[in-house]
Every structure is written in structure tokens, then in C-alpha cells.
Amino acid sequence: MIFLVLKLNIQITDQISKRTINQFMQQQKNLFAHYKQPSIKEDSYVTGLNLANSMKGRELVPFIPINGRQVNFYYCGPTIYKKFHLGHARTYLGIDIIRRTLRDYFNYDLLSVMNITDIDDKIINGAKLANQDFLEYTKIWEKNFFSAMESLSIELPDVITRCSDYIPEIVTFIEKIISNGYAYNNNGSVYFDIQKYLADGHTYPKMRPEINVDQLQEGERESQVNKQSEKKSLNDFILWKASKPEEPKWHSPWGEGRPGWHIQCSVMASSILGNPIDLHAGGIDLVYPHHDNSQAQAEACFNCDQWINYFIHLGHLNFANRKMSRSLKDFITIDEILKKYTPRQIRLNFAIHKYDTVMDYSEEHFEQAISIDKTYHKFFQNTQIYLRDSQITGPQKWMQNDFQISNLLRNTKQVIHIELLNNFNFPTVIDAIDKLINQVNVQITNKTVRAPLVHSVVEYVKFILGLIGLNYQTQNNNSSDIKLIMTEVCSIRDQVKLATSKGEFEAIQNIVTQKQFQYEKNLSNGIVDCVNQFQQQVLVASQDKNKQLLFQLCDKLRDEQLFDLGIKIEDKQQVSIWKQYDPQELKLEREQQQKLIQQKEQIKKKEEEKKKQEELIQLEKSKIHPKDMFLTQIDKYSEFDENGIPVKDKNGNELSKKQNKVVKELWEIQNKIHNQYLLQLQKQQQ
Amino acid sequence: MIFLVLKLNIQITDQISKRTINQFMQQQKNLFAHYKQPSIKEDSYVTGLNLANSMKGRELVPFIPINGRQVNFYYCGPTIYKKFHLGHARTYLGIDIIRRTLRDYFNYDLLSVMNITDIDDKIINGAKLANQDFLEYTKIWEKNFFSAMESLSIELPDVITRCSDYIPEIVTFIEKIISNGYAYNNNGSVYFDIQKYLADGHTYPKMRPEINVDQLQEGERESQVNKQSEKKSLNDFILWKASKPEEPKWHSPWGEGRPGWHIQCSVMASSILGNPIDLHAGGIDLVYPHHDNSQAQAEACFNCDQWINYFIHLGHLNFANRKMSRSLKDFITIDEILKKYTPRQIRLNFAIHKYDTVMDYSEEHFEQAISIDKTYHKFFQNTQIYLRDSQITGPQKWMQNDFQISNLLRNTKQVIHIELLNNFNFPTVIDAIDKLINQVNVQITNKTVRAPLVHSVVEYVKFILGLIGLNYQTQNNNSSDIKLIMTEVCSIRDQVKLATSKGEFEAIQNIVTQKQFQYEKNLSNGIVDCVNQFQQQVLVASQDKNKQLLFQLCDKLRDEQLFDLGIKIEDKQQVSIWKQYDPQELKLEREQQQKLIQQKEQIKKKEEEKKKQEELIQLEKSKIHPKDMFLTQIDKYSEFDENGIPVKDKNGNELSKKQNKVVKELWEIQNKIHNQYLLQLQKQQQ
């Protein structure tokens, strides 16, 4: 039983009252009995992947595509009327990671389609409010969407379908539904006939089967409120909306109007991918009614049993413990978030949570992401240096540590393979990577692991992090040119520091007049300028025999000039090493570090204050003579002995043995404390 | 029968006399009956890959690793005593491609070990000849090997094992063989006891079972010739060689000496990978005796049936129709080859042939490789420009061509998947890629395909070519900086050309004095210098109103200055476009193009000369009057009529009817030709 409970990954909604697990599971089984799980055929490509399938109540279902390795994948895109925010980021980043994993790890032949909803009530209203032309308005917000996607390095789908391009197809589709008997025209608007659909034995809704038919929402507020008179049944949802004045409109057999929201996905997805479709994804808030309606429409049009085989849903992002949706004022836009965090940190923030779970927005999560990001970045930098400095002609024989790392690498690959199969369980994948990295870091520090093996580990880590869309490559390929000059720069600076510490000013002058650096083809001019200026200033300072200034100049070169170019110098004992970063990232990293330090200092300060206060209280307490300690407690006691120890309670009754014992102990403790205080006083006076 | 013949991939050697296919196949079946094909277990990872397995006479055998996705892979490395040459390149490039495919396409968890034979007769002799210390000598040639590998971008194995590091392990291994009864010590040398091995029921040799026991070679000439007296059986091969004076030596239970050649691989492979091992590869010339001896040794030591499950062999490279081996003087070293061809072209040259087939070195093959390389390079450049210039907010709806390309892409993926499973059949893979690329090129030229789909095609092609180790990324990531300045440079140059053609010299002066280009952080100084100089020279030339010079300067900028920086400008009607290359590659490409043109011109010249000669001969012939034509043929004829037509043969007999007819026809033809000649003369005189 417990095993079964662990396997099922079901979200219990408010509408299901609490029952025993037994009854619940039985009901679950019945509720999703309509789902036809694809079976393994002779040419099936079976990887062992299991997905939390909303078609089966989010149970883990083995993923079997219809046609060999081919996977047809559709996911809901944006309704373009406002800025891209963090909630969107979670959904699209989640899908991005899933796509990469399906394609690059499991080698499926993936064809991905994403729609753009560019005809919608919210867009029309938004354009009116902004006093803009409808088309112009959608163009602006579509551009904003794609810019945001690009800034987060989210891959574009293979196909983009805009609703406004598919009006003819939508009309044809609706006509088919009508002719199949599942929709009707009333007053220029077309509605889906839910009663007829149910009466003919169809299941609806498929993914929220526990919903009471009477409670069925339509999903488009407007129709539900305004057009009840046109509908056969309250729950019928709109497919085609009769035109209203001053609204964009298109021609149809039922008059002028525009598509409803739900119909768009059914039409565009099947236009490209046909029927049935392997995989459909979207945010969890779309499950019902939007996704269920999409399915009903398609199944009503094609007269098929099951339009989508696997439906997966991305979890919500709760912001300040509230659902991240536009109707709330306090949302976070991508522009603002990118001022605080890098795209990589944002990705990691989400990747450390399962894609289909609800998640709270919190600074702590981000800090965890920042920390992991730094770990990875350091790992790649350190291994790069280790490999850069290793000689292939050096010792290569495997020692115990090499076998250890190799075994760990193989174990890690096994664990990660299993966890990726397990509904893309990336949090555990990241844990496994962390363990591997930690071990390798230790071996690298001790120089007890062969470089080719390190290289193999690095390549594997790169590959897995690539599935998350994380890229730690240094952005320049002219690194060989920079390598040469940077080696020289570090050497000069190290020599200056050493000579300065020895007060050898003439030597310094020699060092910095050896070579005037020239611009060379493709060489970083910035570095050239830095080092020439450094040499100049050091020359003067050494002529003035100004040690302090000399050290300051060395620091300035490291912390400001080269830092601004994205070059980080790390002073290691006598020799320094250099690493190259994206200048923007380096700057952001420093800001985040400073912020962290500030926070720590604030916490420390608060604790110190708190401690100080406590000490004061203790001091005051210790000044009290034990014989006075109970005197004020007249609400408890009425009579005291010569030492101030209570003998009678407030009612005049003698204290019990136990009470006596207690007050005597307290008296002793206070006596001790007070004597210590007196001793302290004496010492101070001496 | 025919089906079976098609499936078997057997190389018929000289030693097997020709028999009927029937008898042959029956014999094959029997010859390799000892091979135990791995069976599919519950946790087996089955991709469908088939390998030409030398353990089964190079029949295609389904590849089933011992342990899930893990593949333990050992391949023979170099004996380091001479320069790396093209034959080596074929072997190591072949293995490189196989490794990448196993790991990156089929997602096996690959652990690859390669040995370095740094103790060997040839090394000792080479060091003596070169008058160098043995250790120094090996260091030099090992470095040469790894440099060559690096210049060809061949990946290092995960583990490198040098023979000299494994002496203790070798000694222990040999001791085990001795104690198992399959080797014996004689006079400080240890030999493998083949007769005992065979007598105990072992199969030897396993991969060349048709070889007559009496004909067994030992594989190390020296022992065979010199030490026959020490061996129980002529065919026993040496495991440990007793020391000779002035040779490097190591201590052993049998005295001072050094390992034989064969023992090294058995010991080092099993040291890292254990026993049994999934996959072993090497050049075909090593099959027997080296690989078979390696197996015998390991099986004699571990007392196991089958040490290697899959043995694959890389085909020979024949040079000038002779086997590429060191004993031939005319070999091609990597250094020389790289002066003529790029690493990518060398890889392609081999990839268009199946890895396990024999191959002739020829210029034609290389030309084919050059042509394919250019096709790929152009494809990536053109698609890069297409994607660079496309707007995501533009039209996205799929048209017929998009569906076509998408279907072609999917078909291509299917074909390639099947062909990779089929013993890494890369020639067919390359054909499939070519077809795909051609179609996409057409669509791009007509601008009739959506950019996201092009991107998907590009990524897939990149992935597959990556398995061959081909990388067409432009090497710089500062392309955004260069993009800005190059756009300006092209614009200025285009304006200058246009204004020059119109004779608008003042306008030119305005154009080139608009902006003095400055060095900017990380910007290519070379381009800055070029454009500043161009502007200067154009200014002067326009002041002199020198059109010719102005055009020359525009050409010079394109063909020399920017070309040397790796920037290729292509003039398209009025606007030029620019593409970035590796400068070295661009230069080499031009040289190869010029060479090709030269060759074509030479061929054309020769043909013209030949044609001219023939014409001369014809002219001379036409000068002869028909009545004279037979007169000189006194060896055939004795009498002639008034027209010079022969009537009697040399013996005085009259010609037959047939002979008559023939000579009359010849006379008529010559008459015609001669008359034409006379006509021609007349015309000339007029």
C-alpha cells in the first residue's frame, strides 16, 4: 500500500473531501479509467522514461511515443498583453529543460510547436486602455516576450503558430465540430454542446474528472456572465465569438467575429502535428478548463478517443504566498529580476525544484541557486586551470584515487540516468553532480587525479548541466592571445609586489621598464592599456619610494582595472593566477557577495546587541541580594525568615516541603550569582 | 542464401583458396563456433547497434555490453619510435569517431583505455641509431605522437597506460600464466606454451582460425629467428625477454629483461578494465598474431573462456598501392599532410570510407573530401547569415516547403539512426546529410523556409558532424564587436565603389572622412588598421580622380587585407556580405582552389595540344592524292590501275571481290578528304 502511495503523484484538490487513502486510490483508478495508456509495439523506442501524466491523475506513466523515436510536442505559449514575469519564466524554463533532456539525453526526434495567443479579450482590453492599435499592441508585447526568452537563453520551438494566422483553419475546425453534432450557432456565436458530448458517452472533463458537472466553469468570464441566454447549457464554452463594435473581427459562416480562447490550441496543434499527439505541456493553471476543453474540441472534431497521450503540467510559482498572476500588483518582471540575478542563477533557482511541484518565490531559494552557481563556476575554472597546466607526457598511471573518481563518475551516471527517467527529477540530479564535483575538487587540490580523467568528468558535467541550459564556457576563443599577455601581467605584478616588500625600488623600475606593450592583432586592448598604465604609475611610485602606494596600485590593478575587464586575479602565496569571466557576471557576483556580507554583518550586529541586552539584564539581576529576592513577591508569599526565604504563602499557610526546597535552591543560586558580582566589584576597585 | 551472404561481412584472405560460397559459409560457421555471443539480460542496454566482430569472422553481431550502459573499451596505442603518419591517422581518427558515436549518440557510459608501447625492439634499435638515451628517445616520440593527435583534434582516451609503468603487473601476470601451466622459463626468457594451450582444449588463434598451426607466426621476428633453440615449439611466442647488453632492463624472477610486445596489452587492459572486456579495437594488421596472442595470454592467466566480447579492426591505408608501413620509404607524415590539407578535410577523407575497409591513398579521395568540407562550411555560413538576418516577429506560419523540410529532416534522422546502428556506416550518413543540406540550401536561397526550422536542421547537422569530429563554429565569440565594425566597413566600401563608378569624387572624400576608427576594447585592431588605411588611400586616389586605382583599392581590401584576417567579402550585386573564417583555413582554401584551377588548365592545355597534333596529322594525311595512297604499300600490293587502286596483291594474285571493295572504299574516302583539302587551299589563296 505504502509503495503504491509513493508511486502515485497526485495533487489532492480542495474539492475532494478527505477520505481514507484506500477509498481515494480506488476512486482515482475509476476516475481515470478512460485513459488509454499507449502500449509497447515492435518498433517502439522505449527509454524507460516515466512522466507524471495529468491524463491519469498525475500518475507516473511509461512514455511510449506513437512512432518510433519521433515525439510530437505541443506547448501553450503566451497571451501577449503584458510583461514577461517570473511565473512565466518558471513555465518556459521548465519546458526548455524538458525539451533539451528529451532531445539531447534521450535522443528522441522531437518536433516542438508553441502557439502565440494574439487574439484575446485581455489583449483587446489592454490595447483599448493603452489607446493603441490592436496589431501594434500585439507586436510590442510579442517582441517583449521573445526578448525575455532570449535573455534567459530559452530555446525557440521548432514551430511558432500565431492564432491570427489560423482563422480559416479555425473556422473549418469549428464547422466540423458542428457537423459532428457537438456545437451550435446562436446569434453569431458558436458554443460547444457539453450535454450532447456527455450524452454520447464521451468523458469530460478528462483531467479533472472529479469536478461536478454543475460546477463546470467555462473559463472565459465574459461569456459565462453575459451570454447565458444564448447557451443550451450554462457550461457550454464558446468556440466563436460574434463580433462586438470596435473589436478586431474576421469573417466566418456565422458572421463576423473572432475565435474563442480554447479553440486556438486544438486547431494549431493539430495543424502541424496531426492527431493524436504524443505530448502536450503547459502551466498547471491551464489544466481545467483550457486543456480539457482543447481535448474535447479535438476529439469532437476528429471523432477520436484520445487526442493527447501525455499531458504534463508545470507547477505554480507562489509569490509572497500568493499565486503569481497578472491580477496581482506585486509581480516581478524579468527586467527587474535580471538586475538582481543572472540568467543562470534564475535557471538554477527553478531546476532545484521538481518541475511539476508548486514553488514559493523566496530570497532563500535564490541564495541557494547563487551558491550552487558559484560552485559550478569555480569547478569549471579550477579544472580548466588544472588541465591547462597539465602535461600529457607526465605520469599517467592510475592510482587509487583515479579508480575512486572513475567509480564515482560511473555511479553518478547511473544515478542520474535513473533520476532523469523518473519524471525529470533534476533536484536529485543536481545533488549527484554536487557530490561528484566535491570529490574531484578535493583530488584537484591535492593534485592526486590524472588530467584525462578530470577531462572526462568535466565533459560529463558540462553535458548534464547543458540539459538544464547552463553554460559555463568562457566566452572568448582568443584565450590563447590573452593567455600570453596575462601570464606576463601576473608575473610583472608579482615581481613588483615582492620587490616592494623588500624595498627594492630600483629593481621595480627595471621590471616596469623592460617592455612597452603594443597592441597586437586581436589582442585585448583593454589589458594592454591596463598594464601600460600600471607600469607607468608604479615607476613613479617607486621613484618616490612609496611602498603604500605601490601596494595600492597592485590592488587597484586586480580589484578595479582588470576586474572591470572580467579578469579575476587570485593571489596565491607568492604567485597569482588569473581567470576570465564575463565582466557583467563578475560585477554581479561581487555585488551579490557584498550583499551577502552585509546581511551577515547585520545579523551579527543584531545578535551582538541581543547578547549585550541579555548581559545587562543578567547584571542587574546579580546586584540583588538573595535576602531581598523574594520580598517583592507579595502575590505569592506573606512571611519570610531572617535570610529572606519565604516561609508562608500569600494566604498565610506554611509552605510545603517541596515548595520549601524550591525556594531554598533559588536562594542558593542567587547567592552564588550575587557573590560573584561582589567579587567582580572588588576586583574592579583594586 | 543470398540474404545470408549479404549479412556476412567477411574478408577472404589469400590463404583460403576459392571455394563455393556454400562450403565457405559452412566453414565460417565452424571456424568461429568458439565465439560466445553475449545474450540480452534483464538490465541490458540494447540500442540495436551491430558491429563487425572479428571474433566471429567480422560478421555483424548485436552489441550487448556486460553491464547495462557501461562499455569498457581498450584500443592499441602507438609504438613510439617514429613520426606519426597518415596510416596512423586513419586508425586513430577511426577510433575517435567510433568513441564519439558510442558516447554522444548512443549514450553508452564509455571508459576508454589506450596504451603506449614504450618498450620495444624497434625503439631500442631506433635509439641506438639516433645515438640517444632510451628514455629521452621515447619522450621525444611520445610528444610527437600527442602533438599529432592534438593537431587532428583526436580526443585523448580516459586512461593512458605506458608499458614502462606496468612492469610489476606484467611480471605477476606472467607468473600466473606459468603457474597455470601455459608458459615456461628458459634461459631467462619466458615463452607461451602453445601446444599445451591447444592440448587443453583452448582455441587458438581465435580470430584467424583458418591459419594452419604449423604456419603460426610469432610476430616478433627476432625471437623466431634467433631463439628457436630455447622454445618447446617453434610457434611459442615470447612473454619476457632475457636482457641483452646495452639494452634497458628490468628485474624479474627470471633474471633481468623486459616484456615482450604481446604481453603488454593483456596486462594493461585488464589492470584498468578487469575481465572480461566489452570492446577492443586496433588496426587490422594487428589481428594476428598480436590481438590473438593478447587474448590467449589473458585467457591463460584468468582461466576464462573469452576475454574480449567484441573485437573490431580498422582497415589499412594503402599508399601508392602498397601497405602503409614504416619499412617503406615513401610515407606521408602528418606535418607534411597538414601543409596540404586541413584537419577537417583529413577527417572527412576517412569518414567517407567505412572504417573497417581497406582504402587507397589518392588525391581524388582528398579532393572529394575538400569538396564536401566546402559544402558543409558554406552551409553553416549561409544558415548563420539567414538566421542572423531573420526577425522572430516576422511571419511564422508553416507553408508547404516547411512541411517538406520537416519531413525530410525526420526521414534523415531515421536513415542516419539505422546507418549508425549498422556498424557505423558513415559514408551513407554523409550522403543523407548532403541531401538534407541541398534541400535546405534551395529553400534558403528562395527564402521559403522558416528560420526556427532552419535552426533545428542546423543543430542536428552540427550534432551528426560532431560525431565525425567536425566543427564549423566560427572561432570567435566577440563576433558582435566585429559585426558592428564589419557592417560599417562593408557599407563604406560599397559606397566608395558606387560613387567611383559614377565619378563622384567629392562624395567619396566625404564618405571616407566621416569617421576615424578607434581601437575599442576587444575590437579587432587588424580590421581597424585596414579600414583606416583604406580610407586614407581612397582619399588620395579620389583627390587624384583615379578611378582605376579606386577600384583596385576596393579589390585589395577584399582580396588581401581583410582576407589575411580571415574575413571573406562576397560582392553581391550592389551590397556585399562578409563571412568570418579561420585565416589559416581561408588561405589554405585559396591555395587549394588555385591548385585546382591550375590542374584544370593543365589538363585543358594537354587536351588542346593533343587535339592540335591530331589535326596536324589529319592535315598531312589529306595532302595525299588518292592515286598515291596505296603506292607505298608494296608489302601488300604489286600492281595498281590508272587511279592508283591496287589490283594485285604482293604475290601477284588478283584481289578478291571483298578486298576490291575495301580498297575502293578507302580510295573514295581519301578522295573526299583530299578534295576538301584542295578546296581549302583554293579558299586560302583567294
pLDDT digits (tens, 9 = 90+) for B268-323: 999 999 999 999 999 999 998 999 999 999 999 999 999 999 999 999 888 766 55
Q: What is the bridge-based pairing of β-strands A277-283 and A308-314?
A: parallel
* Residue, of A122 and B322, whose pLDDT is higher: A122
Enumerate the residues of chain B whose CB falls inside 8 A of the CB of residue A109. Answer: 410, 413-414
How far is the C-alpha of B26 from the C-alpha of B16, rounded, in Å? 14
The label of the residue with cell 579508480 reads A403
Of B69, B392, B397, the CB nearest to A161: B397
Enumerate the residues of chain A whose CB falls inside 8 A of the CB of residue B394. Answer: none
Enumerate the residues of chain A whose CB falls inside 8 A of the CB of residue B138. Answer: none
Enumerate the residues of chain B whose CB falls inside 8 A of the CB of residue A521. Answer: 524-526, 565
Closest residue on chain B to A163 (Cα): B397
pLDDT at A663: 92
Is the CB of B525 less than 8 angstroms away from the CB of A521?
Answer: yes
Enumerate the residues of chain A whose CB falls inside 8 A of the CB of residue B450. Answer: 159-160
Closest residue on chain B to A406 (Cα): B111
Q: How far is CA B451 from CA A91, B392, B426, B494, B622, in A?
A: 24, 8, 28, 28, 66
The 10 Å Cβ neighbour count of residue A15 is: 10
Mean pLDDT of chain A: 86
* Rounded mean pLDDT, B615-642: 90
Is the CB of B453 less than 8 angstroms away from the CB of A524?
Answer: no
The 10 Å Cβ neighbour count of residue A332 is: 18
pLDDT higher than threshold 50 for residue B422:
yes
* Residue, of B13 and B377, whose pLDDT is higher: B377
Enumerate the residues of chain A whose CB falls inside 8 A of the CB of residue B143. Answer: 393
The label of the residue with cell 578507302 reads B666
pLDDT higher than threshold 80 for residue A509:
no
pLDDT higher than threshold 90 for residue B221:
no
pLDDT higher than threshold 50 for residue A258:
yes
HSE-up of residue A410 (Cα within 13 Å, Cβ side): 18
How far is the C-alpha of B569 from the C-alpha of A495, rounded, in Å? 46
pLDDT at A217: 60
pLDDT higher than threshold 90 for residue B415:
yes
pLDDT band of residue B256 (cuts 50, 70, 90) is very high
Is the CB of B156 less than 8 angstroms away from the CB of A452?
Answer: yes
Q: Each residue of B68-81: pLDDT tens digit?
A: 999 999 999 999 98
- Minimal CA separation from B418 to chain A, in Å: 12
pLDDT higher than threshold 50 for residue B326:
yes
How far is the C-alpha of B108 from the C-alpha of B105, rounded, in Å? 8
How far is the C-alpha of B440 from the C-alpha of B453, rounded, in Å? 10
Lowest mean pLDDT among A383-387, A405-409, A460-464, A466-470: A383-387
Of A406, A452, A522, the CB nearest to B157: A452
Enumerate the residues of chain A whose CB falls inside 8 A of the CB of residue B70. Answer: 410
Is the CB of B156 less than 8 angstroms away from the CB of A417?
Answer: no
* Residue, of A134 and A28, whose pLDDT is higher: A134
pLDDT higher than threshold 70 for residue B20:
no
Is the CB of A159 less than 8 angstroms away from the CB of B398?
Answer: yes
pLDDT band of residue B478 (cuts 50, 70, 90) is very low
pLDDT band of residue A20 (cuts 50, 70, 90) is low
Q: Each residue of B364-379: pLDDT tens digit?
A: 888 999 999 999 998 9
pLDDT higher than threshold 60 for residue B9:
no
* Rounded mean pLDDT, B399-421: 98
How far is the C-alpha of B461 from the C-alpha of A42, rounded, in Å? 28
pLDDT band of residue B519 (cuts 50, 70, 90) is low
pLDDT at B47: 96
Is the CB of B69 less than 8 angstroms away from the CB of A521?
Answer: no
Percent share of chain A, pLDDT over 90: 60
Q: Each residue of B90-112: pLDDT tens digit?
A: 999 999 999 999 999 999 999 99
pLDDT at B657: 92
- Minimal CA separation from A388 to chain B, in Å: 14
Lowest mean pLDDT among A158-162, A210-214, B54-58: A210-214
pLDDT band of residue B685 (cuts 50, 70, 90) is confident
Mean pLDDT of chain B: 86
pLDDT at A674: 94
A458: CB partners within 8 A, 6+ apart: A380, A383, A387
Query: Which of A421, A456, A471 is most worth mutating to test chain B (most B CB atoms within 10 A of its CB)?
Result: A456
Is the CB of A396 less than 8 angstroms away from the CB of B521?
Answer: no
A358: CB partners within 8 A, 6+ apart: A284, A315, A316, A318
pLDDT at A58: 94
* Rounded mean pLDDT, A508-521: 68
Of A159, A160, A413, the CB nearest to B109: A413
Q: Each residue of A61-73: pLDDT tens digit?
A: 999 999 999 999 9
Q: Quick check: ipTM above 0.85?
A: no
* Residue, of B525 and A290, whose pLDDT is higher: A290
Is the CB of A452 less than 8 angstroms away from the CB of B166?
Answer: no
Residue B534 dihedral angles phi and psi, to the nearest 5°: -55, -45
Residue B446 dihedral angles phi and psi, to the nearest 5°: -85, 0
How far is the C-alpha of B91 from the C-alpha of B79, rounded, in Å? 14
Measured torsion, CA atoms of residues B679, B680, B683, B685, in degrees rounded to the nearest 10: -110
Cis omega before residue A626 (within 30°)?
no
HSE-up of residue A484 (Cα within 13 Å, Cβ side): 9
- Minimal CA separation from A50 to chain B, in Å: 17
pLDDT band of residue B325 (cuts 50, 70, 90) is low
Is the CB of B396 less than 8 angstroms away from the CB of A159?
Answer: yes
pLDDT at B551: 80
pLDDT band of residue B25 (cuts 50, 70, 90) is low
pLDDT band of residue A547 (cuts 50, 70, 90) is confident
Query: Cβ distance A145 to A334 under 8 Å?
Result: no
Instruction: Give the single-character DSSP code of A106.
Output: S
pLDDT higher than threshold 50 for residue B329:
no
Is the CB of A452 less than 8 angstroms away from the CB of B165?
Answer: no
Of A105, A157, A395, the CB nearest to B452: A157
Is the CB of B109 less than 8 angstroms away from the CB of A477?
Answer: no
Of A156, A398, A525, the CB nearest to B519: A525
Enumerate the residues of chain B whose CB falls inside 8 A of the CB of residue A160. Answer: 392, 396, 450, 452
Q: Each residue of B238-250: pLDDT tens digit?
A: 999 999 988 999 9
Element (H, E) at B26: helix B21-31
Is the CB of A393 less than 8 angstroms away from the CB of B146?
Answer: yes
Element (H, E) at A73: strand A70-75
How far is the C-alpha of B316 from the C-alpha of B358, rounded, in Å? 5
Closest residue on chain A to B149 (Cα): A392
Percent share of chain A, pLDDT over 70: 87
* Rounded mean pLDDT, A167-181: 98
Percent share of chain B, pLDDT over 90: 60
Enumerate the residues of chain A whose CB falls inside 8 A of the CB of residue B455. Answer: 156
How far is the C-alpha of A313 from the C-alpha of A295, rounded, in Å? 15
Is the CB of A565 less than 8 angstroms away from the CB of B156?
Answer: no
pLDDT higher than threshold 60 for residue B328:
no
Of B272, B456, B522, the CB nearest to A398: B272
Query: Which of A118, A392, A405, A450 is most worth mutating to test chain B (most B CB atoms within 10 A of its CB)?
Result: A392
Enumerate the residues of chain B whose CB falls inside 8 A of the CB of residue A162. Answer: 396-397
- Minimal CA separation from B359 to chain A, in Å: 31
Query: Which of B163, B393, B523 is most worth mutating to test chain A (most A CB atoms within 10 A of its CB)?
Result: B393
The label of the residue with cell 571573406 reads B568
Is the CB of A397 less than 8 angstroms away from the CB of B523?
Answer: no
pLDDT at A508: 75
Query: Cβ distance B589 to B637 under 8 Å?
Result: no
Nearest to A420 by CA among A49, A37, A1: A49
Q: How many CB pairs under 8 A join A and B?
A: 121
Instruction: Give the single-character DSSP code of B230.
Output: G
Nearest to B597 by CA among B586, B605, B607, B609: B605
* Rounded mean pLDDT, A568-590: 73
A327: CB partners within 8 A, 6+ apart: none
Is the CB of A272 less than 8 angstroms away from the CB of B158?
Answer: no
pLDDT at A13: 44
Of A109, A158, A456, the CB nearest to B452: A158
* Rounded mean pLDDT, A553-564: 84
Q: Each residue of A643-657: pLDDT tens digit?
A: 999 999 988 899 999
* Residue, of A514 and B626, whose pLDDT is higher: B626
* Rounded mean pLDDT, A536-548: 77
